[in-house]
Amino acid sequence: MKSRALFIFAILSFSAFSAFAEETEENVRLLVNFYKDSCPQAEDIIREQVKLLYKRHKNTAFSWLRNIFHDCFVESCDASLLLDSTRRVLSEKETDRSFGMRNFRYIEDIKEAVERECPGVVSCADILVLSARDGIVALGGPYIPLKTGRRDGRRSRADILEQYLPDHNESMNVVLERFASIGVDTPGVVALLGSHSVGRTHCVKLVHRLYPEVDPAFPADHVEHMLKKCPDSIPDPKAVQYVRNDRGTPMKLDNYYYRNILDNKGLLLVDHQLASDKRTKPYVKKMAKSQDYFFKEFSRAITILSENNPLTGTKGEIRKQCNLANKLH
């Protein structure tokens, strides 16, 4: 009888422990300044590295901003974007949808700087998000207090990428639906596409609006410049041929993008649709008039994007190198 009572007690104790562990796992959440005890210098190190890299290579800030979109949109914000290809699995970096993305090697520089201070503590997913945050500031955008505590995924999502990422040639219906699936509403979509205020569009992505006939939506003075920059109807994808997204302030994240697309100077089809679709045009007009409103909605949308289905607690891992899952070391 006594042994039976001990057996029942053991089962109940194990069940209680399992429930507690499960509850504890569920209660693990992203936090502002997650590393304040485990690596208090982490965010300062990342910020200084982003500043240093921006001084040497201005285009790194564009890369950090694009990284958060391409990584966090695809199922989870877990730095799967950064993984290299293996013999069996293609890297997200090497898909057609990642054409023109670069500067991944500098993420490794940031990771190494953080590892010197706190080995095995700070995830590549958090480095990706925080570098985007600080890159936005370098481009003249708002400071956004983003949470940390993400862990790194172990696999590439190249095989499902197309199911998640909206393409620049898709209808506004599809674009809005894809963003809504991760919690970003219409003004948030309009604000996030304001990222096209900086950087450049490769001719490969643009020529379908120039050849065989020029899209009549383009103003004549704008067409001349684009044809000069993209003289071939089938451009060499390895050639560095591009048009600046915003010829006025190409290195600054600002609301000139919205003024340009209202004047039909948006380079991509999605830019043109944004300024003409009845669901998005009111927000385009509002952001064209107010940079404060643009920054407010942009900050809100970036926050939602950065918190999309993160790995926390004991899920995933903390990679030693951002381009390799730990099992491959």
Amino acid letter for position 97:
R
The answer to whether 166 is annotated as binding is yes
The answer to whether 254 is annotated as binding is yes
Name the burial class of residue 273, with classes exposed (0-12), middle (13-18) and buried (19+) by CB atoms within 10 angstroms of its CB: buried
Closest CA to 201 of 180, 178, 225: 225
Residue 255 and residue 288 in contact, taking contact as beta carbons nearer than 8 Å: yes
The verdict on whether 70 is a catalytic residue reads yes
Per annotation, catalytic residue among 70, 222, 225, 329: 70
The answer to whether 98 is annotated as binding is no
The answer to whether 280 is annotated as binding is no
Q: Which residues contact 297 (CB under 8 A, 6 or more apart)?
A: 187, 188, 190, 191, 283, 287
Angle, in degrees to the nearest 10, between helices 281-289 and 291-306: 120
Distance from C-alpha of 204 to C-alpha of 201, rounded to nearest angstrom? 8
Q: Is the dihedral of CA 145, 147, 151, 152 positive or negative?
A: negative
The answer to whether 196 is annotated as binding is yes
The answer to whether 249 is annotated as binding is yes
The answer to whether 224 is annotated as binding is no
The answer to whether 185 is annotated as binding is no
Q: Is the dihedral of CA 292, 195, 179, 29 positive or negative?
A: negative
Binding residues are 71, 74, 78, 80, 92, 166, 196, 246, 249, 254
Binding residues for substrate are 166
Binding residues for Ca(2+) are 71, 74, 78, 80, 92, 246, 249, 254
Binding residues for heme b are 196
**Active-site residue set:** 70
